[in-house]
Amino acid sequence: MKRWTIRLKVTLWFTLFMTLLSVLALGILVYSSEYSALENIKFRITDVVEQVQRDVEWKDNELEIDKDLEGFQDGVYLSLYDSQGVPLYGSVPRLFDNSDVFEHKSLREKKTQNGIFYWYDEKIWVSGYGEIWVRSIAEADQVSAAVGSFLQFAVIVFPFFVLTAALGGYWITRRAFLPVRQITQTAREIGEGDDLSRRIGLGKGKDEIYTLANEFDSMFERIQAAFEREKQFTADASHELRTPVAVILSQCEDALRTECDEPHREALVTIQKQAEKMAGLISQLLTLARAEQSRKKLHLERVNLSELSEIVGEQQQEFAEERGIKIVQEIEPDVTVQGDETMLMRMLINLLENAVKYGKENGHICLSLARENGFAVCRVEDDGIGIEKEHLENVWKRFWQEDASRKVEGAGLGLAMVKWMAEAHGGAVSVTSEKGKGSCFSFTIPLAEEEG
């Protein structure tokens, strides 16, 4: 199951929060609107009654009502009654039961099957006539209709609001997480590449993301310093060890030229072999350290890799003949690359030496070179001991040797050097192998421009 990204989670939570907040605000708005509308109705039905006293008077032995006084105005029904309840003027809603007794200054509510009604009674005194009951009535359905229309409008608009909130939340989180993407991309490029001097460089900021980026930059500085110290130590140690090892070899050779008994001669031969092995290891360490230091300072030139491969193959044939191995060359002519000739030669030598060491006695090694999809592809295939599948990813690591190959002399640095040199040229390495049947090591390097 695919895990949700933090950006998506934040967007969803923001949308949910905005939706709930909108629902809450809508509920409050509906309630306050309904409450305000009801209060307005109550105010109007009482206000109408107060106007009656100004518009009704007894004149010339009859009750005179001002023409401006209407039986229905502004949603309120108005009616006048004498002290016995006999209608004098006005009208009432058709569905309203007008049988309730009068109560002075009483505001009441009636819920019926026909709706909700509010009415107000007040007894006034008309000079010369006597008591008159004034009743004002309003239907609450007006409020329900208004609220219903508002809710209908809200239901139509609400989905668009949620969509807008989601898009807005996504845009906000995308902008907010943009520095995180930059941090991730730069960290990945540093991890996959070989330039430890790169930095995220978000600049100065006060929020948490900028603080995180600055901490990453500080960490990269410490890592770079540690790697530089390690490379410098390797180079210095290798350089310092060359002289004492050379002295040991020289003394062994001098001692072996003189007459001595057999036990001492065997001891000197053993010392000489181990010193030669150590000298080879020191030489490879120095080459590795120099390659690391010069990775950014490659002496790039046009190199005919076909001719170089043929030369190295012929040179290594002498070494291979000691084990009865024949090197077969399948070289496509005039394959040209832009590279450092010394490093390219070292890559070929290391691959062929590795194939001879772990190849089958009286076997074969195939050295091939061809153009493939804009790259020069060099393969060295042997019919030797092979490598277990679970160990294939380890063959390019420094000092790694499979247990079955420990009996073969070697420091485990040759393939590591091939990998780093290929990557320094913008290429890559790969290996396929089957235990007991042999291995195929290859590297790819971009062709020179006119070659592509």
Domain check: are 390 and 407 in the same one?
A: yes
For residue 209, being part of any structural domain is answered with no
pTM of the shown model: 0.49
pLDDT score for 409:
54
Domain check: are 10 and 85 in the same one?
A: yes
For residue 282, being part of any structural domain is answered with yes
pLDDT digits over 55-76, tens only?
777 777 777 776 666 777 777 8
For residue 376, being part of any structural domain is answered with yes
| Cross-strand bridge partners of residue 133 | 81, 123
Question: Among 164, 183, 208, where does a domain finish?
Answer: 164
At which residue do the structure tokens 């490379």 appear? 231
> Is the pLDDT confidence value at 18 over 50?
yes
For residue 255, being part of any structural domain is answered with yes
Domain check: are 239 and 311 in the same one?
A: no
pLDDT score for 404:
46
Domain check: are 345 and 403 in the same one?
A: yes
Within 13 A of 336's CA, how many CA atoms are on the CB side?
A: 9
The CATH number linked to 333 is: 3.30.565.10
C-alpha distance from residue 175 to each of 18, 76, 172, 426, 452 (Å):
19, 56, 5, 34, 41
Name which of 157, 77, 88, 91 is nearest 126 in CA terms: 88
Domain check: are 328 and 245 in the same one?
A: no
**For residue 332, what pLDDT band results from cuts at 50, 70 and 90?**
very high
How many independent structural domains does the chain possess? 3
For residue 334, being part of any structural domain is answered with yes
Q: What is the mean pLDDT of the chain?
A: 81
Domain check: are 386 and 317 in the same one?
A: yes
Question: Among 164, 180, 204, where does a domain finish?
Answer: 164
The CATH number linked to 275 is: 1.10.287
Domain check: are 404 and 371 in the same one?
A: yes
Domain check: are 156 and 271 in the same one?
A: no
Domain range for 236 is: 222-291
pLDDT digits over 134-171, tens only?
888 888 766 666 677 777 787 888 888 888 888 888 88
pLDDT score for 7:
76
Name which of 32, 39, 31 is nearest 140 in CA terms: 39
